[in-house]
Amino acid sequence: MIPEILVIGSYPPRECGIATYTQDLLAAIERKFGESFILKVCALEAKGRTLNYPSEVKYVLDIKSADSYQLMADRIEQDPAVSLLLIQHEFGLFEGHYGVKLLQLLYSVSKPIVVSMHTVLPNPDNDLKKVVRAIDAVSGMLIVMTLNSKNILVNDYALDPSKIVVIPHGTHLIASPSKESIKERFDLDGTIILSTFGLMSQGKSIETALYALPEIIDKFPNVLYLVLGKTHPEVVRSEGESYRMELEAIVMNLGLQKHVQFVNRYLSLDYLLEYLEMTDIYLFTSKDPMQAVSGTMSYAMGCSCPVISTPIPHAKEMLRDEAGVIVDFQDSQQLATEVINLLSDAERRRRIRLNALHRIRPTCWENAAIEHALVFSRLLGVTQRLNYAWPALSLDHLKRMTTERGLVQFAKIYHPDLESGYTLDDNARALIAAIMHYEKSKEPADLVLVDIYLKFIKDCQQSDGRFLNYVDREGKFHEKNKHVNLEDSMGRAIWALGELLVVSTKLELAQELVASALIEKSLSAIQKLQSPRAIAFAIKGLYHYNTVRKSKDVEPIIEALGEKLVTCYYASSDITWSWFEEYLTYANSVLPEALLMAHLATGNRIFKHIAKSSFDFLLGHLFHHEEIRVISNRGWQNKGEGRSRFGEQPIDVAYTIFALSLFYECFQSEKYRKHLSDAFAWFHGKNHLHQIIYNPATGGCCDGLEEFNVNLNQGAESTVCYLMAHMTMELHKQRVEAEEEEVSAPLHLVN
């Protein structure tokens, strides 16, 4: 039975920050773990204001009615579907002094409770301390959004730190189109955009920015300040639009009509993110020093906006170390000076954007969903595994990284780094990815990519059948080709060409002929390969080639290459070390995978035996507690020694997936099937940082998983390897489903 999580908090269409937060969080958990949890909502509303809620809202709690808390507790307690409560807590949301009426509900329910505390007040009086301690006593876990909030709970309230988990306010991943292209669509090209957003109230202190504008405009006459958002509904009910009118009067008195625009509406997420993406500097001017967290500031940082903020605890934590700028509360002069300094220094703005993106990227909603799911599993004692959902497959980043010459090697975050040039390695793998995608989608645009990558491979082949690897941005062979062993690159090229021939009947004849000719030209050079991985890649390519061509000349080459791997194995292996070398390095899985293919091509049973024993040995070093941890690129694992940790790369996870898929197909071992799922989940957050490696917004894959961070650069190797792994998983899923249908099909007896 799938556990149901009941979230108690304000919820759209109610307009407030916690309502938006709750909706975004639930949407993220649903995307990531929709098969692991059922998500329902108990919406908070005052009597007489019931709204038209969406289907996920199961209950509505009248927060102003003293009787409603016990009545709701009774309903929840009697509801067999509800497994756990997640409370979105803000003191002002609930009735009574410090929202004390909530305790009546919490203490009347026997089900596990998690409380997410949006505000943590320092220096509490006795009444506040009693309420918070009572909440803690009945809760299985407390969630806070900053380390500062956790420290306050530990130091000022004497709470147990082991019960408190920090899960930062979520942010949205963006595809990051050009800032200038968005400005053009809004007819704001050539304009410097400053912005602030959120439901408006006196606490926002928008006037601080307005009073700073004249000095800013004197230096930068093309500045436009966007004040995004309507007045908070609770403020409208109590004060009307008096604060907005005050701000409009300031604009008139200072003659700022051409430089200030009030966008007086509750913005949809898409519009909001576009406004933030075209913002040059985001201004957060709150005058409340007790404001623990700002979701608006988080969203701005997630959109790569340089932020200037007043020193609320969240800002001091997130903007440190040149990730933003801090100014004093209600100090318009200081704000003007900092805006002018930042607008005058493009390099500093770039540096702040980059630092902020690295700081904020781990807080994306996908990662927040993972952390919440782990909390739920811990409290529920859920025995079933978390099912990490697969995002939609996208070639957007692959296309962004591809020029008319080929696939660019490296990226700066998600922007191609043309100075890094091109490699045969990347374009060979990209050819496989494009072929696999075309076989799946039949999209004509894929054939354009196939042509580009195939031409690159053709241009890299030399007269003796070997290949060069490194090409500069101008399309010339790099000097590096003279100083580096190029065998592995050649092997990858043969692998890609063989993969193309497997689907050649679905491609153009010219592409098939080119691929076939390139392999045939290389046969002599292939037989001279000495590098175990080059041999393995070549076996994969020739295996695929021979399934199409059935050449009598190729099978003996596969046999000879397989024997070379066997020789390596016998030279290095012993009773405790079943491997081909005295160390485990990169792309390890390709060795047993290729030897198994050599068995399939030749029938040699020694190949099959060594392939399985070596692969099982490798898996014993890669999988720990249902997580894959590939060999670190910080230091390889030598025979008889321990291994380095961290420094994991997507390419090694992907190669393990390719091998697991083949081994499962051949041996039908449930162990391989389970490892496949765990390995692919690594990309989606099942790793030691609990952070996504693949970015579903850009279609790019990050370059590595380090000890404390994810390398945000989305280069060619990582992205292509993810795409290949994703499509391998889809093919595996199709095969498994077909097998299950065949097993479950009814028998038809013939008399």
Share of the chain above pLDDT 70, in %: 98
DSSP category for residue 477? B
List, in sequence order, every residue forming a beta bridge with 200; answer none if it has no partner: 231
pLDDT tens digits along 285-319: 999 988 888 888 999 999 989 999 999 999 999 99
pLDDT tens digits along 553-588: 899 999 999 999 999 999 999 999 999 999 999 999
Q: How far is CA 438 from CA 124, 431, 504, 527, in A?
A: 62, 11, 11, 31
Structure tokens at 29: 């958990």
Structure tokens at 519: 């392999």
Name the residue with tokens 């919820």: 11
Peptide bond into 168 cis (omega under 30): no
pLDDT interval class at 745 (50, 70, 90)? low
φ, ψ of residue 30 to 5 degrees: the values are -65, -45
Q: In the chain, where are the structural domains located?
A: 4-166, 179-363, 396-734
User: Beta strand pairing status for 164-166 and 192-197?
Assistant: unpaired
The amino acid at residue 275 is Y
Position 613 pLDDT exceeds 90: yes
pLDDT tens digits along 104-126: 999 999 999 999 999 999 999 99
Among 78-92, 228-242, 336-350, whose mean pLDDT is lowest?
228-242
Assign 307 to helix, strand or coil. Answer: strand
User: Beta strand pairing status for 583-584 and 637-638?
Assistant: antiparallel
Asked if 355 and 388 touch (Cβ cutoff 8 Å), the reply is no
Instruction: Determine the Cα–Cα distance for residues 549 and 707; give it in Å rounded to an integer.
Output: 47
pLDDT interval class at 744 (50, 70, 90)? low
List, in sequence order, every residue forming a beta bridge with 461; answer none if it has no partner: 467
Instruction: Determine the Cα–Cα distance for residues 29 and 31; give it in Å rounded to an integer.
Output: 5
Mean pLDDT of 93-99: 93
Asked if 488 and 534 touch (Cβ cutoff 8 Å), the reply is yes
Asked if 124 and 159 touch (Cβ cutoff 8 Å), the reply is no
More confident residue, 751 or 435: 435
Mean pLDDT of 30-56: 90
Question: In CATH terms, are 4-166 and 179-363 the same topology?
Answer: yes
pLDDT of residue 726: 98
pLDDT of residue 384: 63
Per CATH, domain 396-734 is 1.50.10.10: yes
Which of these, 693, 582, 699, 577, lies nearest to 627 by C-alpha position?
693
Mean pLDDT of 387-396: 96
Among 8-17, 371-380, 505-514, 565-574, whose mean pLDDT is lowest?
505-514
Which of these, 693, 692, 664, lies nearest to 677 by C-alpha position?
664
pLDDT of residue 568: 97
pLDDT of residue 271: 85
Handedness of CA 473, 475, 480, 486 (dihedral sign): positive
Position 628 pLDDT exceeds 60: yes
More confident residue, 551 or 605: 605
Share of the chain above pLDDT 90, in %: 83
Per CATH, domain 179-363 is 3.40.190.10: no
Return left, alpha or beta for 593; rule: phi > 0 is left, psi -120 to 50 is alpha, else beta.
Answer: alpha
Residue 121's CB: how many other CB atoms inside 10 A?
18
DSSP category for residue 172? -
User: Residue 125: CA atoms inside 13 Å, Cβ hemisphere, count?
Assistant: 3
User: Beta strand pairing status for 325-326 and 307-309?
Assistant: parallel
Instruction: Determine the Cα–Cα distance for residues 256 and 225; give it in Å rounded to an integer.
Output: 9
Position 421 pLDDT exceeds 60: yes
Instruction: Determine the Cα–Cα distance for residues 124 and 553; give it in Å rounded to an integer.
Output: 83
pLDDT interval class at 177 (50, 70, 90)? low
Q: How far is CA 446 from CA 427, 694, 715, in A?
A: 14, 21, 20
Q: How far is CA 619 from CA 47, 211, 736, in A?
A: 59, 64, 21
Overall residue count recorded for the chain in this entry: 751
Instruction: Determine the Cα–Cα distance for residues 351 and 342; give it in Å rounded to an integer.
Output: 11
Structure tokens at 286: 């709150």
pLDDT of residue 586: 94
Asked if 599 and 608 touch (Cβ cutoff 8 Å), the reply is yes
Which residues contact residue 304 at a Cβ distance below 8 angstroms, ignoring those fewer than 6 apart?
176, 277, 353, 356, 357
Asked if 207 and 287 touch (Cβ cutoff 8 Å), the reply is no
Average pLDDT, the chain: 94
Q: What is the CA radius of gyration of the chain?
A: 30
Asked if 203 and 287 touch (Cβ cutoff 8 Å), the reply is yes
Per CATH, domain 4-166 is 3.90.1410.10: no
Mean pLDDT of 137-151: 96
pLDDT tens digits along 254-264: 999 999 999 98
Instruction: Determine the Cα–Cα distance for residues 719 and 651; give it in Å rounded to an integer.
Output: 9
Position 749 pLDDT exceeds 60: no
List, in sequence order, every residue forming a beta bridge with 41; answer none if it has no partner: 7, 57
Assign 89 to helix, strand or coil. Answer: strand
pLDDT tens digits along 506-527: 788 889 999 999 999 999 999 9
Instruction: Determine the Cα–Cα distance for residues 195 and 254; give it in Å rounded to an integer.
Output: 18
pLDDT of residue 751: 37
Mean pLDDT of 669-680: 96
Q: Is 576 exposed, middle or buried (0-12, 13-18, 19+ CB in 10 A)?
A: exposed
Beta strands in 359-405 (DSSP E): none
Asked if 372 and 310 touch (Cβ cutoff 8 Å), the reply is no
